[in-house]
C-alpha cells in the first residue's frame, strides 16, 4: 500500500475570478491544482473558479455540485508515494451541453466585472478551426448555428464572443482569454476563432476584440488519464478515497504562460508556473516531443497489441522507435532557449510514459488524430524534408494511423473511430485499398498541408511504410527500423 500524504483544502475562496470552459479530467488535475495550491499558500483567494462543461458529462457536473465542488486529485510519484490533494477552489459548476439549460448563468458569470480571466480546455476540435489552415470552419454546423444565433451560442468561441459582446455593451473591460489546449500558438489560434466568428456578425465588435482582448498562449503539461471504474475502485481500495469526481495523475506538472493579463492574474509563479515573453518554443517542444511520441506510441502500440502507454514503452522495440523519433525527428526541428536540454527532456519523457500507476490508455490518445497530426508530426516532417533529413519513424506513425482508422471490426463491418472525420474514413476505406487508400488519406487537405503532401519524398516514404506494415506486419517493420539504426 502506498504512503499517502493528504492535503486538505481549508482556505476560503472570496470570489470567482476565473471562468473555465471544459471541466474535464485535465482541468481538474492541472489548472485547478495550481489555483488550489495558491489558495492554500495565501490562506484566501479572489481567484476561485466557475467551471463549465459545454458538450459532455453532465453527470460529473451534478456529482461536483452534490459535493459542493470538492473533489480529490491523486498525484502518483510512484507506487509508494501518493499525494491526495483536496480541491475546493471550484465554487460553481455549470452544464450547457445537450439538455443543459445553464448557458444564461454561464454568460452572466462571464460578464461580471470580477471575472478577469476565461480559460479553456475544450480539445483541439472545440475551436472549430481547420487544423491545417488555422481558419474557422464556417461550414461546421455548430458555427453555422452560432452565426445565426449569436446570443445563444453552442461553441466555445461563440460563448466567449457573446460574453465579450455583453461586457462591451455594459462598458466592462474585456477578460483575458487563456487557451490551455495542445495547439501550436494556441493564444493566436483562439484569437483567430473568436475574431473570425465576430467578423461574420459585427464589424465594431470585431475591432473591439482586436483592440481590447488579450489571448496569451500557454503550454500545459500533465498526464491525466480518463477515469474509469477500475481507477475509481483502486482509489477506494488503496487510498480510501470514495469520490466519483476524483482524478489520478502523475506528479509531474508544467505550465508555461505568456505574461499578458491586462486585468491581472494570480501570482502563480510561486506555484512553479513559468511566466515568459514567448511560449512558442516550449509549446512546439512539448507538441513534437511529448505529444508526437504519445501518438506514435498509440498507433504503433495498438497495432502491436498493447493497451496502455506504460506497456507500449516497456516493449523494447517500441521504446527504441520512440527514442529514435525524439532524437532524430523531433529534437532537430526545435530551437530552444538556452538552458533547455532536449536529451534530458527526452529521458524524462520516457520515464513519465513508463509510470504504470496511471493506466493511461493508448485509445484515449489515438482519438481525434485528424486534429492532432498536423502540429505533432507534420510541421516537423516538413522541416526535416527541408533539411534533407529522413523521417521514417514519423512515416511509420502516419501509416499506422491510416491503418488504425480503416481497420474493419473483427466481424468485417466498418469501425467508426473517435474522430470528427470518422465518416470520411469509413467512406475512404470502402472505396480504396493499398496505395490508393494511402493516397486518398494524404489528399485530406484538413489534415495534410499541400506543401507537405505534394512533395514526392513525403508521399513515397509514407507509401513505403504502409506497404511494409501491411505486407510484413508491425513487428518486422519495427525490427527493421530499430536494427537499421
Ligand atoms: C495526449 C495528451 O491524449 C493525448 O493526445 O497526448 O493529452 C497528453 O497526455 C497531455 O498533453 C500531457 O500534457
Q: Is the CB of 364 under 6 A from ligand 1?
A: yes
The average pLDDT across 79-100 equals 90
| pLDDT category of residue 414 using cuts at 50, 70 and 90 | confident
SS3 for 21?
strand
Closest-CA residue, ligand 1 atom 6, reads 291
The average pLDDT across 76-103 equals 90
Ligand 1 centroid to residue 365 C-alpha, Å: 7
Q: Is the CB of 223 under 6 A from ligand 1?
A: yes
Torsion angle of C-alpha atoms 122, 116, 114, 93, degrees rounded to 10? 10
Measure the CA–CA gap between 168 and 94, rounded to whole angstroms. Answer: 23
> What is the predicted pLDDT for the residue at 484?
65
> What is the predicted pLDDT for the residue at 410?
85
The average pLDDT across 134-157 equals 96
For residue 409, pLDDT beyond 90: no
> Nine-digit cell at 64?
461536483
Best substitution site from 31, 227, 290, 377 to test ligand 1's pocket, by max atoms within 8 Å of Cβ?
Answer: 290
Closest-CA residue, ligand 1 atom 4, reads 365
For residue 45, pLDDT beyond 80: yes
| Beta carbons of 26 and 222 less than 8 angstroms apart | yes
For residue 483, pLDDT beyond 80: no
Measure the CA–CA gap between 268 and 274, rounded to whole angstroms. Answer: 8
pLDDT digits (tens, 9 = 90+) for 217-253: 999 999 999 999 999 999 999 999 999 999 999 999 9
| Count of helix runs (H) and strand runs (E) in the chain | 23, 12
For residue 97, pLDDT beyond 90: no
Ligand 1 centroid to residue 291 C-alpha, Å: 6
Closest-CA residue, ligand 1 atom 3, reads 365
- Comparing C-alpha atoms, which of 361, 326, 329 is closest to residue 347? 326
Domains parsed from the chain with CATH numbers: 3-276 (3.40.50.720), 280-484 (1.10.1040.10)
**Averaged pLDDT score across all residues of the chain:** 95
Measure the CA–CA gap between 172 and 112, rounded to whole angstroms. Answer: 8
Atom from ligand 1 closest to the CA of residue 254: 13
The average pLDDT across 182-211 equals 97
Ligand 1 centroid to residue 274 C-alpha, Å: 19
pLDDT digits (tens, 9 = 90+) for 325-338: 999 999 999 999 99
Closest-CA residue, ligand 1 atom 10, reads 223
Q: What DSSP state is assigned to residue 125? A: G
Residue 93 pairs in a beta bridge with: 51
Strands (E), 56-208: 71-76, 81-87, 90-95, 117-120, 176-179
> What is the predicted pLDDT for the residue at 222?
98
> What is the predicted pLDDT for the residue at 485?
64
Q: Is the CB of 222 under 6 A from ligand 1?
A: yes
The average pLDDT across 350-359 equals 94
Ligand 1 centroid to residue 210 C-alpha, Å: 31
pLDDT digits (tens, 9 = 90+) for 106-116: 999 999 999 99
Q: Is the CB of 182 under 6 A from ligand 1?
A: yes
Q: Environment class of residue 62 by beta-carbon count within 10 Å: exposed (0-12), middle (13-18) or buried (19+)? A: middle
Atom from ligand 1 closest to the CA of residue 360: 9
SS3 content of the chain, % helix, strand, coil (to 5): 50, 15, 35
Measure the CA–CA gap between 352 and 355, rounded to whole angstroms. Answer: 5
> Nine-digit cell at 288?
513534437
- Comparing C-alpha atoms, which of 116, 124, 151, 112 is closest to residue 22? 124
Torsion angle of C-alpha atoms 36, 38, 41, 46, degrees rounded to 10? -90
Q: Is the CB of 392 under 6 A from ligand 1?
A: no
Ligand 1 centroid to residue 290 C-alpha, Å: 8
Compute the C-alpha angle 305/308/311, nearest 5°: 75
Ligand 1 centroid to residue 366 C-alpha, Å: 10
Mode of pairing for the β-strands spanning 48-53 and 254-258: unpaired
> What is the predicted pLDDT for the residue at 456?
82
Atom from ligand 1 closest to the CA of residue 220: 13
Return the number of other C-beta atoms located less than 10 Å from residue 6's C-beta. 13
For residue 408, pLDDT beyond 70: yes
Ligand 1 centroid to residue 26 C-alpha, Å: 9
For residue 99, pLDDT beyond 90: no
Closest-CA residue, ligand 1 atom 9, reads 223
For residue 428, pLDDT beyond 70: yes
Q: Is the CB of 221 under 6 A from ligand 1?
A: yes
Amino acid at each position: 500500500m502506498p504512503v499517502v500524504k493528504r492535503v486538505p483544502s481549508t482556505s476560503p475562496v472570496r470570489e470567482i475570478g476565473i471562468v473555465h470552459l471544459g471541466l474535464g479530467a485535465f482541468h481538474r488535475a492541472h489548472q485547478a491544482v495550481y489555483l488550489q495550491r495558491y489558495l492554500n499558500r495565501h490562506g484566501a483567494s479572489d481567484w476561485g473558479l466557475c467551471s463549465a462543461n459545454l458538450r459532455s458529462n453532465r453527470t460529473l457536473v451534478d456529482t461536483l455540485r452534490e459535493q459542493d465542488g470538492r473533489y480529490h486529485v491523486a498525484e502518483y510519484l510512484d507506487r509508494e508515494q501518493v499525494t491526495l490533494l483536496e480541491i475546493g477552489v471550484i465554487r460553481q459548476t455549470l452544464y450547457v451541453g445537450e439538455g443543459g439549460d445553464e448557458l444564461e448563468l454561464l454568460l452572466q458569470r462571464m460578464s461580471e466585472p470580477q471575472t478577469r480571466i476565461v480559460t479553456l480546455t475544450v480539445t483541439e476540435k472545440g475551436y472549430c478551426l481547420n487544423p491545417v489552415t488555422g481558419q474557422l470552419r464556417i461550414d461546421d454546423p455548430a458555427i453555422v448555428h452560432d452565426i445565426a444565433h449569436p446570443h445563444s451560442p453552442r461553441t466555445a468561441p461563440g460563448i466567449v464572443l457573446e460574453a465579450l459582446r455583453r461586457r462591451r455593451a455594459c462598458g466592462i473591460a474585456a477578460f483575458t482569454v487563456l487557451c490551455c489546449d495542445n495547439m501550436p500558438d494556441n493564444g493566436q489560434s483562439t484569437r483567430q476563432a473568436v475574431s473570425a466568428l465576430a467578423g461574420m456578425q459585427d464589424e465594431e465588435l470585431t475591432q473591439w476584440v482586436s483592440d481590447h482582448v488579450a489571448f496569451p498562449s500557454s503550454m500545459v503539461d500533465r498526464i491525466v488519464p480518463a477515469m474509469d471504474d477500475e481507477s475509481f475502485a483502486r482509489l477506494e481500495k488503496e487510498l480510501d478515497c470514495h469520490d466519483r469526481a476524483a482524478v489520478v495523475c502523475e506528479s509531474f506538472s508544467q505550465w508555461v504562460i505568456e505574461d499578458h493579463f491586462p486585468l491581472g492574474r494570480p501570482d502563480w509563479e510561486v506555484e512553479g508556473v513559468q511566466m515568459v515573453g514567448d511560449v512558442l518554443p516550449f509549446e512546439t517542444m512539448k507538441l513534437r516531443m511529448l505529444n508526437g511520441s504519445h501518438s506514435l506510441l498509440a498507433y504503433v502500440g495498438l497495432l502491436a497489441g498493447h493497451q496502455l502507454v506504460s506497456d507500449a514503452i516497456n516493449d523494447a522495440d517500441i521504446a527504441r522507435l520512440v527514442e529514435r523519433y525524439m532524437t532524430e525527428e523531433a529534437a532537430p526541428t526545435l530551437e530552444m532557449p538556452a538552458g533547455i536540454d532536449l536529451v534530458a527532456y527526452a529521458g524524462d519523457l520516457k520515464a513519465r510514459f513508463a509510470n504504470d500507476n496511471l493506466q493511461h490508455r493508448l485509445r484515449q490518445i489515438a482519438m481525434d488524430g485528424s486534429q492532432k497530426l498536423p502540429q505533432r508530426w507534420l510541421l516537423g516532417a516538413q522541416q526535416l524534408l527541408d533539411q534533407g533529413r529522413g523521417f521514417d519513424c514519423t512515416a511509420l506513425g502516419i501509416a499506422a494511423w491510416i491503418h488504425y482508422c480503416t481497420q474493419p471490426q473483427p466481424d468485417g463491418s466498418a469501425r467508426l473511430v473517435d474522430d470528427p472525420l470518422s465518416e470520411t474514413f469509413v467512406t475512404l476505406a470502402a472505396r480504396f485499398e493499398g496505395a490508393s487508400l494511402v493516397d486518398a488519406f494524404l489528399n485530406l487537405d484538413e489534415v495534410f498541408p499541400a506543401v507537405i503532401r505534394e512533395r514526392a519524398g513525403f508521399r513515397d516514404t509514407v507509401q513505403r511504410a504502409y506497404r511494409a506494415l501491411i505486407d510484413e506486419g508491425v513487428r518486422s517493420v519495427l525490427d527493421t527500423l530499430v536494427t537499421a539504426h
